[in-house]
Amino acid sequence: MTRQAATKGTHVELADISKSFGGVRALDEISLKIGQGSIHALVGENGAGKSTLGKILAGVITPDRGQLLIDGEPVTFHSPREAITRGIVLIAQELSIAPALSVAENVFLGTEPRRAGFVARRALRRRYDELAATAGFELSGDLPGRGLRTADQQKVEILRALCRDARLIVMDEPTAALSRPDTQRLHQVIRRLAAGGTTVVLVSHFLGEVAELADQVTILRDGRLVRTAPAAGETEETMLSSMLGRSVGTTFPAKRPVRSDAPVVLEARGLSAHGVRDVTLDVRAGEIVGLAGLVGSGRTELARALCRAQRVTAGTVTTAGEPLTARRPGGRRVLGSQWPARGPHAALRAGLAMIPESRKEQGLLLGRPITENVSLASLARLSELGLVRRRTERRAVTSALGQVGVRVPGLGPSRGVWARRHGRPGQQGRDPGLAAPVSTLSGGNQQKALFARILLRGPRVLIADEPTRGVDVGAKRALYELLTSLAADGLGVLLISSDAEEILGLAHRVLVMRAGRIAAEFRGQAMTEAAILGAAFGAPERGPETGPEIGPERGA
Amino acid sequence: MDQQDVTVRSADGSPSLRPPAALATGLRRAGILYPFLILFIVLSVSSGPFFTKVNLLDILDQQASTLIVAAAGTLVLVAGGIDLSVGAVYALAGVTAAHMALFAPPGVAILAGVAVGLGVGLVNGVIVTAFRINALIATLAMSFVVSGLASLVTGGNLVIDYAHPGFADLARTSFLTVNTSTWTMLAVVVALAVVLSRTTAGRYMYASGSNAEAARLSGVRVQGIKLLTFVLSGGAAALGGVIDASRVLSAQASNGETTLTFTVLAGIVVGGTSILGGEGAMWRTVVGVLFIALIGNGFDLLGLNPLYEQIALGGILLIAVGLDAWSRLRQN
């Protein structure tokens, strides 16, 4: 499978590239060479840094340190546009096809051949046919962008890259959404591109694909380079084992054993929803159950289905022994006993709360005061006849924030920036700190404010989706303590994380998701990073059901 | 990893208010108050008849219906919606009440007018929440429907109630030297201000407008809250229409219409309530509406060419919206 591509010389070289995001080191002194006309794969766990590396190549991200050399010449990209002028194009996971335009128009979008300001249609068609012939694609330029299959959309993106004279194409998970026949076809396309002298950098989760397709493999772990080696010398096992084992020693609070008679507080039976297939799971009071899996394996969809933020197509969810049905607290069923409860408010009422994946998009009311953000889920309890009892609210919020360890400027002994700037010292009644917008808090404190919201609500079960994403090490540690102590107080926790070590350090039990199903469960001694990763990556068996073929074949 | 860098970059910790943002936020926070006070003082000094009880009460009385509609409109905007049908509802309720007053007791006529508005508001709310149709388009379409209904009620004629002076009591009764229309306006504005700033429903309105998904995940029934704001808006628009019909003892289908809709929106936005939802306050709307009223009053009293009034108003509106957009841009 390996062609003698590397002999054609180095196309791109990275020298000691480092990149941090707000104190979190995403890439640490990465050096590697990418051969002209080769297929170079980047592999690693979620968060290992492979996507970041791809984005640095394509100018989406500018590295903090280090040098990028193209054809031996040092370059610095500040934008994708600059990278494109040097022949480097990124094809992102999310494809961007204008549905109202034809395939040919999509390909030449922004670079249409023009005559006196009008698009020269015939020239556009001619150039499209030439381009498609060069690439060896049989895709009609007249097809509308709307309704193109993912595989064909990818071809449009590739042609778009080629018509901009791309000499290096970075593909981020190109086959993640493809069925097996389409995957095979895309592989052919990639091989043809490389044979024609185009360099392809392939970011992929599918190790089988990498072993089959790539000339060179670079394995990343925790932002560091493990090795770059010829793909011919690698197997899925050798790559997997190199991804394991973190060097950074994060400490975790001691696990408290779950009482043997602890009741089941969350029970799902045969739950199916968009991206979730036939999931059955239990969480007991005081138990932290880890939910691992790759991004896109259905973890977040499962979380959202459990708390009814997403439509459930089959199965049942029971919280604290009570089926989640649309029922008023008094016991009167509103819509019949079998009717599945709609909306997160029903889940919350049954004692099931969620910390969502994205705190800015799904968690916080960024422009609103800290108080309102924390009390939002508990206002009914903090009000009388519909009127919010503001003193009670302030006291409750202050105490909840204290429990999660947020020091709001203006509260307590240390008066912070906000209070100093707007200085109203010694004011008792109105607290400037709590009235400040929640967006003025640091990332870690914003996350803690979300925990405070949940704490104030007092659920029986908490689903925490990536609760430590984007927070610094200190805040991480505090959140670990918090999760552990909440569980010790009898809360059942379902912890979703891309960080295998985090799950190992906190969870009593771990479920691994793959392609919408629970692929494996590990507990006790069997809980190892190798086991989790092995189950998460799995064998690359992806049947036609992941991307059903609809209609007649249109592609190559 | 893909989303991580987005999250992390914004998590750097320090308060995000840089000087220009602080300036913009500060300007927006104080907002319309300073221009309003300056205009008020300028008019008091330059025009003798301005700062008299008669003139000031007259302004309030004239603005009563606008303020009532704008007060409810503030709730709609805060909750992330918009209601362009208020002008049409105002007209329909006015002609309904005036028409009913011809043969029914004034109380029944008034209730019928308001009920019609609540009904239209409910329909607006259902279209927007249950069928997920963009509020701008849904209420625009409804405004045509409702205008048509108003013409149907009147048959294209002016409805005249001069023979039924009892209908005028709603607006014209004087209590403590102030007309009931003004008292009604004060009651509605204060009540809706309390709803917005003190009740759980008001908090949910801010939450829904600020981040609907976050509110939903926190157990807020966002669609229900939005529905409520549309019902209130319809009811308030109707009350405004009924009050004005009662004031002049007549009504026609072309009353209000788009002029009222846009005056109300202009007042709310000039006050500093964001058209993007999640921010705003009732006092802002009151000051914004009165600011626009003062401009009109000032042009009248100072004998300026009223053509420039509209140009001035448009400019002020652009500045208000521009400030909002600018400070949001700086914050992000």
* Predicted local confidence at residue A323, as pLDDT: 64
Give the residue extent of every domain in chain A: 6-93+167-243, 264-413+432-537
Mutate to test the interface with A, among B3, B6, B7, B206 (most CBs of A within 10 A): B7
Q: Which long-range contacts (CB under 8 A, 24 or more apart) does B317-322 make?
A: B317/B266, B317/B269, B317/B270, B320/B32, B320/B269, B320/B270, B320/B272, B321/B269, B321/B275
Amino acid in position A509: R
Q: What is the pLDDT of residues A138-155, one digit of tens each?
A: 788 888 888 787 778 888
B9 belongs to a structural domain: no
Which pairing describes strands B159-160 and B250-251: parallel, antiparallel, or unpaired? antiparallel
Please state the three-class secondary structure of A333-358 as a single string: ECCCCCCECCCHHHHHHCCEEEECCC
CB contact under 8 A, B331 and A367: yes
Q: What angle do CA A294, A298, A301 make, to 5 degrees?
A: 135
CB contact under 8 A, A51 and B220: no
CA distance B89 to chain A (A): 29
CB contact under 8 A, B219 and A349: yes
Chain A contact present for B164, CB below 8 A: no
Q: Helix or strand or coil: residue B255?
A: coil
Residue B100 above 70 pLDDT? yes
* Predicted local confidence at residue B236, as pLDDT: 96
Residue B165 above 80 pLDDT? no
Q: B29 pLDDT band (50/70/90 cuts)?
A: low
CA distance B179 to chain A (A): 30
Computed over every residue of chain B, the mean pLDDT equals 84
* Predicted local confidence at residue A435, as pLDDT: 84
* B328: its two tokens: 């949001």
**Closest Cα partner for A369 from A413, A452, A285, A434?**
A434
The whole-angstrom separation of Cα A516 and Cα A495 is 17
Q: Tell me which DSSP letter residue A313 carries.
A: E
Q: Which residues of B touch A367 (CB under 8 A)?
A: 210, 278-279, 331
For the CA atoms of B66, B70, B73, B77, the dihedral, rounded to the nearest 10 degrees, stands at: 140
- What are residue A228's DSSP bridge partners? A218
* Predicted local confidence at residue B199, as pLDDT: 94
For the CA atoms of B31, B36, B38, B44, the dihedral, rounded to the nearest 10 degrees, stands at: -170
What are the φ/ψ torsions at residue A396 (nearest 5 degrees)?
-65, -45
Mean pLDDT by 10 residues, chain A (556 residues): 54 89 77 91 82 88 89 88 87 81 86 76 86 80 83 84 86 76 82 88 84 90 87 84 61 82 89 90 93 86 89 82 50 40 81 89 90 92 90 91 76 41 41 77 86 92 88 80 91 89 90 91 87 77 38 36
What CATH number should be reported for the domain holding residue B165? 1.10.3470
CB contact under 8 A, B218 and A61: no
Q: Fold match between A6-93+167-243 and A264-413+432-537?
A: yes
Higher pLDDT, B226 or B25: B226
The answer to whether B35 and B41 are in contact (CB under 8 A) is: no
Of A345, A365, A457, the CB nearest to B207: A365
How many C-beta atoms surround the C-beta of residue B140 within 10 A?
A: 17
Mutate to test the interface with B, among A366, A378, A407, A418 (most CBs of B within 10 A): A366
Q: What residue of B is the nearest CA neighbor of A387?
A: B199
The whole-angstrom separation of Cα A202 and Cα A74 is 23
Residues 205-224 of B with CB under 8 A from A: 206-207, 210-211, 213-221
The residue segments making up the domain with residue B233 are 18-331
**Closest Cα partner for A305 from A272, A349, A350, A353?**
A272
Which whole number is the average pLDDT over B158-185?
A: 79
Q: What residue of B is the nearest CA neighbor of A445?
A: B13
Buried-state track A184-208, b at ≥16 Cβ within 10 A, e below 16: ebbbebbeebbeeebbbbbbbbbbb
Task: Tell me which residue has tokens 């590295």.
Answer: A63
Question: Topology of domain A6-93+167-243, per CATH?
Answer: Rossmann fold (3.40.50)
B52 belongs to a structural domain: yes
Of A361, A379, A453, the CB nearest to B200: A379
Q: Which residues of B touch A93 (CB under 8 A)?
A: 2
Percent of chain B at pLDDT > 70 equals: 88
Q: Which residues of A touch B203 (CB under 8 A)?
A: 372, 375-376, 379, 388
Higher pLDDT, B207 or A172: B207
The whole-angstrom separation of Cα A168 and Cα A36 is 9
CB contact under 8 A, A354 and B217: yes
B153 belongs to a structural domain: yes
**Closest Cα partner for B11 from A36, A406, A440?**
A440
Q: What is the pLDDT of residues B219-264, one digit of tens each?
A: 999 999 999 999 999 999 999 999 999 888 888 888 766 788 988 9
Chain A contact present for B19, CB below 8 A: no
Distance of CA A102 to CAs A105, A114, A555, B205, Å?
5, 17, 15, 43
A155: CB partners within 8 A, 6+ apart: A135, A137, A139, A189, A555, A556
Helices (H), A174-332: 180-195, 207-213, 236-243, 299-306
Q: B13: exposed, middle or buried (C-beta count within 10 Å: 0-12, 13-18, 19+)?
A: middle
The whole-angstrom separation of Cα A386 and Cα A462 is 27
Packing angle, helices B257-271 and B135-154, rounded to 10: 140
Q: What residue of A is the nearest CA neighbor of B25?
A: A367
Packing angle, helices B282-302 and B33-46, rounded to 10: 30
CB contact under 8 A, B7 and A443: yes
Distance of CA A538 to CAs A293, A514, B246, Å?
10, 8, 76
**Closest Cα partner for A17 from A32, A37, A34, A35?**
A32
Domain count, chain B: 1
* Predicted local confidence at residue B119, as pLDDT: 96
What are the φ/ψ torsions at residue A193 (nearest 5 degrees)?
-60, -45
Q: What residue of B is the nearest CA neighbor of A48?
A: B1
Q: Which residues of B touch A360 (CB under 8 A)?
A: 7, 10
* Predicted local confidence at residue B115, as pLDDT: 96
CATH number for region A264-413+432-537: 3.40.50.300
* Predicted local confidence at residue A330, as pLDDT: 41
B5 belongs to a structural domain: no
Of B206, B211, B221, the CB nearest to A345: B221
How many C-beta atoms surround the C-beta of residue B30 within 10 A?
A: 11
Task: Tell me which residue has tokens 């981020």.
Answer: A172
B4 belongs to a structural domain: no
Q: Which residues of B touch A375 (CB under 8 A)?
A: 203
Q: What residue of B is the nearest CA neighbor of A391?
A: B198
Which whole number is the average pLDDT over B307-314?
A: 84
* Predicted local confidence at residue B55, as pLDDT: 87
Q: Which residues of B touch A220 (CB under 8 A)?
A: none
CB contact under 8 A, B221 and A343: yes
Predicted structure pTM score: 0.76
Q: What residue of B is the nearest CA neighbor of A309?
A: B217
The whole-angstrom separation of Cα B126 and Cα B137 is 13
Which whole number is the average pLDDT over B128-152?
A: 92
The whole-angstrom separation of Cα A404 and Cα B2 is 28
B2 belongs to a structural domain: no
What's the residue count for chain A?
556
